[in-house]
Structure 1
Amino acid sequence: MSSRSGRDYFQFLAFTWDITSALEAAEPLPVQPLPTEPFFSFLPLIRVDREHAAHTDLTAPVLVATVAELDNTTMLIDGWHRLHRALQEGLTHLPCRHLTAEQELQVRLRGGSKKPHRRRSPAPRL
């Protein structure tokens, strides 16, 4: 999901990640093959534009992150359209970069131990 600021974000349940920052953090990481099958079961929970998915670049690495607070689960945080296309085309692997739990926490905006920042109401005048 994009915002007016030009940054990209991904929200899954109560978790939200700054994808623009995540991609910057992942840039120096090695590209590895990612088995696609473990992530297919999540596709019904993700809004995928099928037209966009049909034209995605399957050579561009997807981005996964280890989420320590979810029992060190590996979560796909960028690349759902590519995953959808991989399913349609029967691909078993996609290129991937993998953020560590520490990097994931740095790019997570909310969820788990990261609570959304709320504006404080001004103190009442006495």
Structure 2
Amino acid sequence: MEFFQMLAWRWDVTAAKKLTQGRTPDGRIEPSEWAGMLRLVAINAEHATQVDLSEPLIVAPVPNGGLLIIDGWHRLRKALDTGVPELFAVVLTAEEELTCRMFGGEKGEGYIR
């Protein structure tokens, strides 16, 4: 299972990929706007050079927190390194985010399921 964790929140990325498989991207990410967040994410520099930038990122709405990339940080790093100004993204619905959230948030909203 592949997962993404940010602070006290964790998402099942494998489940998110299954939910979004074949879906047309419905969002766009400007890598430069997310560059500061890379300090909070562990990036394998070698892996980042090998990722496919045509694969859309997966973005989740976080309750009371806006949007968060839960899959695609290595693509974001490569886009920044190679000067790609925009990446496509699939944005999860609130229900899908809750389905993929392993823990974090309020009880009754996906907390330690």
TM-score, with normalisation over the residues of structure 1?
0.80
- 1:31 to partner: Cα distance: 1.3
Is the Cα contact below 8 Å between 1:39 and 1:76 reproduced in 2? no
CA root-mean-square deviation = 1.4
| TM-superposition CA deviations, 1:24-55 (whole Å, max 9, x none) | 11124321432222211100110000000011
Partner of 1:12: 6
* 1:59-98 alignment, distance < 5 Å: 59-70=54-65, 73-98=66-91
CA distance in 2, matches of 1:42, 1:26: 24
Flag as ranges the 4+ runs of structure 1 deviating above 4 A: none
2:72 partner amino acid: G
What SS does the corresponding residue of 2:105 show, helix, strand or coil? coil
CA distance in 1, matches of 2:85, 2:9: 27
Number of corresponding residues: 109
Is the Cα contact below 8 Å between 1:69 and 1:112 reproduced in 2? no
Which protein has the bigger helix share? Answer: 2
Partner of 2:97: 104
Which ranges of structure 2 fall in alignment gaps of 5 or more residues?
none
- 1:115 to partner: Cα distance: 2.8
Larger Rg: 1
Identity of aligned residues (%): 36
What SS does the corresponding residue of 1:63 show, helix, strand or coil? strand
Which ranges of structure 1 fall in alignment gaps of 5 or more residues?
1-6, 118-126
CA distance in 2, matches of 1:69, 1:16: 16
